[in-house]
Amino acid sequence: MKVGIVGAGFVGATAGFAMVLGGAASELVLVDANAALAEAQAADIAHAVPFTRAVAVRAGGYGDLAGAGVVVLAAGVGQKPGETRLQLLERNAAVFADVIGKVLEAAPDTILVVATNPVDVMTQVAARLSGLPPERVIGSGTILDTARFRSLLAARLGVTPKSVHAHVVGEHGDSEVLLWSGASAAGLPVERFAEQTGQPLTAEDRAAIDAGVRRAAYRIIEGKGHTAFGIGGGLSRLVGAIARDERAVLTCSILTAEVAGVREVALSLPRVIGAGGVLSTLHPDLSEEEAAGLARSAGILKKAADSVEAVL
């Protein structure tokens, strides 16, 4: 499948590299306002092709996105140290107002995958600006937060993350909700798994894992100024599920008719991903605390989206 990436900075280029390594694309086109940057990133990625799969990698303009099955929107300003994702909102909404029309003029049948932060609100902005059905405008959402949750929980349990099933829902950001009530390992609730392996999960363990997931991006940005590898891998996984019509269940964000009493809001839930984009949405059983957290997260995102739609 041909994949376009608009925005050849850290996230866009790393996602493209991950797609080449993982076989998510047969052709990759990088587009950026800085044409020299797009050319350099495309050349650098292309030099890895002899070590992996045969993928045609090049830079181009918006017209070169024609025929792309997926276009990843990674354009926008980056998150500064100490800045929340929601503070990025108005600046990146203006970028999308310029970019999306050009993308759809070249590739009207594409699926948009949104990576720009704050990703949930930007997904809602992209859905409104594009006029595409919600299932064809997919934000990366909490796909990375879910991976962080699984990774930290697996490390505590002493098993591979591939044996742990757990989700993070709501906002990709400060109000996200870790679904402890449904977390499992080897088919067992994680609390029972931990007890049977002789290392019960304590309240301190849970608090440390929660903080590790919730504050991960801030710590990484403080240390090196940006995040790229984790989200690049997540975007590659999402695009690969579309390209291969996997019908994989991934936590990602789309504009959703109603969540926890909040109407018309983009946030993450577990969703079935295939060739048509989001094929269906799952609503996990939640504890009272988790349900309240999801309602709070939905309310925060709805308020932010309403504020930016008023100025678009």
Q: Is 172 a residue of the active site?
A: yes
* Secondary structure of residue 73 in the 3-state scheme: strand
Strand order in the sheet with 262-274: 56-59, 27-31, 2-6, 70-73, 111-114, 137-139, 248-259, 262-274, 277-281
Distances 153 to 18, 35, 111, 142 between C-alpha atoms, Å: 24, 42, 33, 16
Distance CA 71, CA 126 (A): 12
Strands (E), 149-259: 164-165, 168-169, 177-178, 184-185, 188-189, 248-259
Give the Cα separation of 116 and 268 in Å (integer).
Answer: 15
Q: Which of 47, 165, 167, 172 is catalytic?
A: 172
Residue 69 is classified by DSSP as: S
Write phi, then psi, for 47 (nearest 5 degrees).
-70, -15
| Residues noted as catalytic | 172
